[in-house]
Structures are given as structure tokens and as C-alpha cells.
Structure 1
Amino acid sequence: MQHGKRQSGQSPIRLIIADDMMPIREYLSMVLSHEADIQVVDAVGTGAETISRALDTHPDVILMDLEMETSRAGVEAIHTLTDNAPGIRCVVLTHFSDDDTVFAAFEAGAIDYILKDSSAAEILEAVRAAAYDMSPIRPLVARMIRHEFRTMRSERASLVATLNIVYRLTPSELGLLRLLAEGKTKTEIAEFRHVESSTIRTHVGNILRKFGESSVKDVVNRLQKLGIFEIFVSDKANK
């Protein structure tokens, strides 16, 4: 069953929660089932159960723990579902403690990840963004990871660190970095966005703090080296 792009006003987002810890399953089920636009169709504790229930019920989104009955159960489930039910969007649930496993999940076909200690609002945002394809950042980051995993294996530690920061950028901050990468000055960006220059300087300061850098040029060079801007442009050109 192939899922098309969801539209606002459609039936609730059908969700499966996959985590081997019952308290986490129960908490997520409780929080998410209270939302009118989300239907929790199942909560399971193994990768094998996830595959079986997903192929039976065809959810829109799966929140997928990576380490269940085995350390790679989630990755293997994502790979199987990507091959057999590509319309199902898998969002990784992780403590982000094992870089290799996270890389493997994105290579297998995951489109996003969310930290297990994220707020309920952040988890809801991730589920909705996955269902509606409304987040331009995470799918692009996932594509970047799949590409980098194949071609820059030796640099994956740097990639993971940068990914974790990019994930926390707001769309406005990412857009600002793209404009700076195109050679726009802060004054030009302020005029383009119809805001004060001081507002742009504040945003730049926030970005520098997130990256732990003192120079915008260093941040832009770092993202360009990982291909984030090129992937973003390519994605827009294909739409």
C-alpha cells in the first residue's frame, strides 16, 4: 500500500509506537492518543512485531526504537519496511548514544529522529511533520546522512555532531544560513526579511552559540563541506 502526500483535514494520522520499554510505550500512547488528529493503532515491543503489525495495518508513521529484542532490531525493521512498504514513514526514537546505529537507521530509510527525552510537543511535531512531509530540514538531513555514510565513512563523528545541531536549528535560522552562504550581507538579509539589522545579528549570535563557533564563515564552511546546502537546492529543483 503506497501512501500519497497527506492533506490537511484528512483522517487522523495512523501511528504505531515501537519500543521495548513498556513505560515508554504507555506514556507515548497516552500523550499521542489524546490528540484529535492522531490515532495510535498499536504499541509493540519488538522489531518483528513492528514489521508484522505495520504490514497488516499500514500506518502513516512509526515511532521506532532502535534497540529492542536485538541491538539492530529497529534498523532491520526500518530496512524491511522501506523495501516492502515505502509509504510508511519511520521516525527513530533514540538516546543518540550509538552513532553507528543511528547512521544505519538513516541509511535503511528513516526520515527523522527524535530524542527520547524530548518534550511531548516536540514528539507531536515530529509525528505530524513526518505524516505531512512539512519539515524541509529533517528529510534533507536524512538524505545527507545516507549519502555521507556511503562516501565519507571516516568523517561520520563530525557529521553526527553537526546533524545534532542542524536538527535544533529553526527553519528561520537554516534559511538565514543559506542566505549567508549565497553571499548576502546581514543588512541585505534584514531588508529582504523586512526586519531590523539587530534582529538578524541576534539570530546569527544564536546560531554561533549552537555551533560553538565564533565565525559565521566557519559555520557556513562546515555545512557546505557536508553538502547540506547543495542537497537543499537539489531537493527544491526536483519539486
Structure 2
Amino acid sequence: MSGAVRVLLVDDHPVVRAGLRALLGGCPDFDVCGEAPDGATAVRLARELAPDLVLMDLRMGTGMCGVEATRHVVRLPAPPRVVVLTGYASDAYIVRAVEAGAAGYLLKESPPDLLLQSLRTVAAGESALSPAVASRLMNRCRAPRTALTAREIEILELIATGRSNRQIGSALFISGTTVKTHLAHVYDKLGVENRTAAVRAAVDRGLIQLDAPETALPAQLG
């Protein structure tokens, strides 16, 4: 790629965007062409500004999340490559981001030099993962029969919010019977017998991440 790599920054925290702009501004091979505080704005600016890379946060309050924004961005006529930059390293987020089309998945705790190197790698047409993320994906490949699917992870996250099978089915546009089938597979893969144990096992293994991890799970879910 000739010339500076044009980067669109997407994060709901102005301080994070300012820090990234300052970091990239010190490198002549990068040019920050725009900033977006949410997913919908990110999609619009990706269409209008035609960046080479989009550095995408995943969770940005209400509205379109980073995964959905990534899905829209990579479908543009001349799509930029999307690199996720987040503080979440659970399987749930990694699987969804990769399936949405992200070419990179980096953690906000990454050293600046690793972040810059990874962006250059993705701009060159390759993929880049933080070491912890690469390790998780490798573990999923080594044990495909016990790895939860993206749908199973979605169901577990909804169970963790206390929703019933009917409510989960309504949220995912599937039947309650289908939810039960997915749960049976989850129980088998995690070696548990009920919903509460499934959520606990998923949290312990880093498959899902609760909004308030310090809060104890209820004795019985649903």
C-alpha cells in the first residue's frame, strides 16, 4: 500500500480516541482521517471517508455495537479492513468479531509498539491477533467438539441475564424447542447439568463475560 495508511478511530471514550490519535500521529505511515463515537457513525464515516483501516471498539453503550458495525463496514463496496481494539478477550467477543469480518483482534492492554506493528500487518493484507486472543482461538481449534458455537454463547449470555427459554427464543428469533436443543449441547460440552452451572462454567472458562463480574451469580437462574 503506497502512502500513509488512512485510519478511522471508533471508540465511545474521547480520551481513548485522543490517545490513539496521538500515538498514530507520531508515525508518518499513518493518517487518522476521522473519529466516531458509536457504531452507526462508524459505518457512515467508513462510507464517506474511505479509510484503509477502521480501529473498532466493541462495546459503545447503546445503539449499534462494534460487531454489528464491523459487519456493515466490511460489506461496503470498497471495504476497509477492520481491526478490533477492545478490553474484552472472551470467546464470545472473539468469535463474533471474527465471524463479522474483522481482520484483527487486539486488546487495549497491548503495548503501543505491538499495536502499531499489528496495524501495519493488517494494512499489508494479513491478520493480527493479540497473543491472548491467538491462544484462545488455538484452543478452540484443538478441541472443536467441545468448543461452543457463537449461537450457544449467545444463549448462555442471555441466560446469565435471567431470561427464560421463551424470552431467549424471542430475542434470537428461534423457537423455545431450539433453545432447549442448544442448551442440551451446551450442558454436554461443559459437563454440567443445569443453567446456573453452565453460566458459572462459561464465566470461569472466559467464554462469556458478565457486565459486573464482581457480582455473585444467583443460586438458580430461570
Query: TM-score, normalising length from structure 2?
Result: 0.57
Query: TM-score, normalising length from structure 1?
Result: 0.53
Q: Does the aligned pair in 2 maintain the 1:72–1:101 contact within 8 Å?
A: no
1:130-156 superposed Cα distances (whole Å, 9 cap, x missing partner)? 111256x65xx99xx6xx79xx48414
User: For residue 105 of structure 1, what is the amino acid of its counterpart?
Assistant: A
Work out which of the residue numbers 2, 11, 17 in structure 1 matches 2:3. Answer: 11
Residue 37 (1) aligns with residue 26 (2)? no
Residue 116 (1) aligns with residue 116 (2)? no
User: For residue 24 of structure 2, what is the amino acid of its counterpart?
Assistant: L
C-alpha distance in structure 2 between counterparts of 1:116 and 1:71, whole Å: 22
**Partner of 2:147 in structure 1?**
155
**Partner of 2:81 in structure 1?**
89
**Partner of 1:80 in structure 2?**
72
Shift of 1:11: 1.2
Residue 131 (1) aligns with residue 131 (2)? no
C-alpha distance in structure 2 between counterparts of 1:96 and 1:156, whole Å: 18
The RMSD of aligned alpha carbons is 2.9
Shift of 1:54: 0.5
User: For residue 26 of structure 2, what is the amino acid of its counterpart?
Assistant: H
Structure 2 alignment gaps of length 5 or more: 150-222
3-state secondary structure, aligned to 2:74: helix
% identical aligned pairs: 32
Where is the helix percentage greater, Structure 1 or Structure 2?
A: 1
C-alpha distance in structure 2 between counterparts of 1:58 and 1:101, whole Å: 26
Q: Does the aligned pair in 2 maintain the 1:61–1:90 contact within 8 Å?
A: yes
C-alpha distance in structure 2 between counterparts of 1:21 and 1:68, whole Å: 8
**Partner of 1:25 in structure 2?**
17
15-24 or 77-86: bigger deviation: 77-86
Structure 1 alignment gaps of length 5 or more: 1-5, 158-239
3-state secondary structure, aligned to 1:117: coil
Residue 106 (1) aligns with residue 101 (2)? no
Shift of 1:86: 5.6
C-alpha distance in structure 1 between counterparts of 2:145 and 2:13, whole Å: 31
**Partner of 1:66 in structure 2?**
58
